[in-house]
Chains A and B, each alone.
Chain A
Amino acid sequence: MDEQSQRAQVFTITSGKGGVGKTTTTANIGVALARRGRTVAVIDADIGLRNLDVVMGLENRVVYNLMHVVRGVVDAERALIRDKRVPGLLMLAADQHSDKDDVSQEEMVQVCEDLRTHVDYILVDSPAGIEQGFRNALAPADRVILVTTPEVSAVRDADRIVGLVEAAGKPAPVLILNRIKPDLVARGDMMTTADVLDILRVDILGVVPEDAGIVAATNRGEPVALDASSRAGRAFHNIAARIEGETVPLMALDEAEAKGFLRSLSNLFRAGPDGG
């Protein structure tokens, strides 16, 4: 982040429906932004169902978690775990033994406030659903990244999130369409990116293909974005570039895009108050 801006922007990654790829997305955007030389704090807000640490392969290094910070046991900055593979990547784990109701929206806002001056980006991994845990994750957000898959139930839930984000007075979310299967799209058996955008009426931040490499990477605790040459890894690096205001065409993952359906996102994030 440039010299004049010293406060990190907070991005909350959320979805409504469970299991569509929020944690995977958070970890990989974190890796990709850090690889670009940024300092990034990723926060697991899925209290009681801690996941981000294992997806990132940092589970054995967790000493303090979000609850310790909220209870004042330790400063937010000191609770962050440094990812030794990627300089600048930091993680705050969730507490596996607490409850979503043990944290308030004000407390989540405060934790992020405390970290804003120490890092360039804060990524909050939201739990599924639209209850307290989601509200806590949403509270500190400057920007909301909505993750969905091209399925009826996931898109329906995503639409609900669009409404709730608006009701909370936040800017409209930007979409990541995950687990696209180009072969299914090509034979008409999966909704296209254009279909989903037509329905949700939000801007697209990125498309991520279905990639068995993600499963293998997650098994090992090595986010795919560590390998920028993998297909899914490249998708996340593109997303990080767009977050930083670069114009990168969407990966051609379906027919519409192959025909040149490209939406540039330049300046989408430049307009923010912190210029992040």
Chain B
Amino acid sequence: MGFLDRLMGRVGPASDASGRVAKERLKVVLEYDRARLTPAQLELIRDEIIAVISRHVDIANADVEVKLEQGGRLVAEIPLGRSGGGGGVTGGGGR
């Protein structure tokens, strides 16, 4: 990428430039801060969700994902186990 491109805003600094990295890290940290959650708590929530749901249906424990998405959305991805049939059950919840 040329100097001129950069000047004209056609391309930004490399995506691994530390300013970009700082912004991405901040975004993640602040999602947790604003939701008053920690990654460790999220892990705990994941384990409890697995415990509750597997009482009713067979799920693929290792593939269960609980994520905090931008804008304060807690999203759980819960793929069912083999015996429970192919698809997944997705549960989303607001703040």
The answer to the question of B19 belonging to the interface, with a C-beta cut-off of 8 Å to chain A, is: yes
- Residue with the greatest number of chain A CB neighbours at <10 A, chosen from B8, B18, B23, B33: B23
A270 at the binding interface (Cβ < 8 Å)? no
- Known contacts being A159-B33, A259-B9, is A189 close to B19, with CB within 8 Å? yes
Of B19, B27, B29, which is within 8 A of A185 by CB?
B19
Interface size range on B against A? 20 to 34
The minimal Cβ–Cβ distance linking A197 to chain B, given in whole angstroms, is: 11
Shortest CB-to-CB span from A180 to chain B, Å, is 11
A199 pairs with B26, CB closer than 8 A: yes
CA distance in complex: A255, B6 (Å) = 9
Closest B residue to A160 by beta carbon equals: B33
Q: A152-B25, A152-B29, A199-B26 are in contact. Are A188 and B34 (CB under 8 A)?
A: no
Q: Return chain A residues, CB-CB under 8 Å to B25.
A: 152
A198 to B17, alpha carbons, bound, how many Å? 18
B23 contacts across to A, CB distance below 8 A? 191, 195, 198-199
B22 within 8 A of A: yes
Q: Are A151 and B22 in contact (CB under 8 A)?
A: yes
Instruction: Please provide the 9 A-B residue pairs with the shortest distance between their CB atoms, ordered closest to farther.
Output: A188-B13, A188-B17, A195-B23, A189-B18, A191-B19, A188-B19, A190-B19, A152-B22, A259-B9
Interface pairs (10), CB distance under 8 Å: A151-B22, A159-B30, A188-B13, A188-B19, A189-B18, A190-B18, A191-B22, A191-B23, A195-B22, A199-B26
Chain B residues engaging chain A, CB cutoff 8 angstroms? 6-9, 12-14, 17-20, 22-23, 25-27, 29-30, 33-34
Query: Which residues of A are at the interface with B, using a C-beta cutoff of 8 A?
Result: 150-152, 155-156, 159-160, 163, 184-185, 187-192, 195, 198-199, 255, 258-259
Q: A199-B30, A258-B7 are in contact. List 19 more A-B contacts (CB 8 A).
A: A152-B22, A152-B26, A152-B29, A156-B30, A156-B33, A159-B30, A187-B13, A188-B13, A188-B18, A188-B19, A189-B17, A189-B18, A189-B19, A190-B18, A191-B26, A192-B19, A195-B19, A199-B23, A199-B26
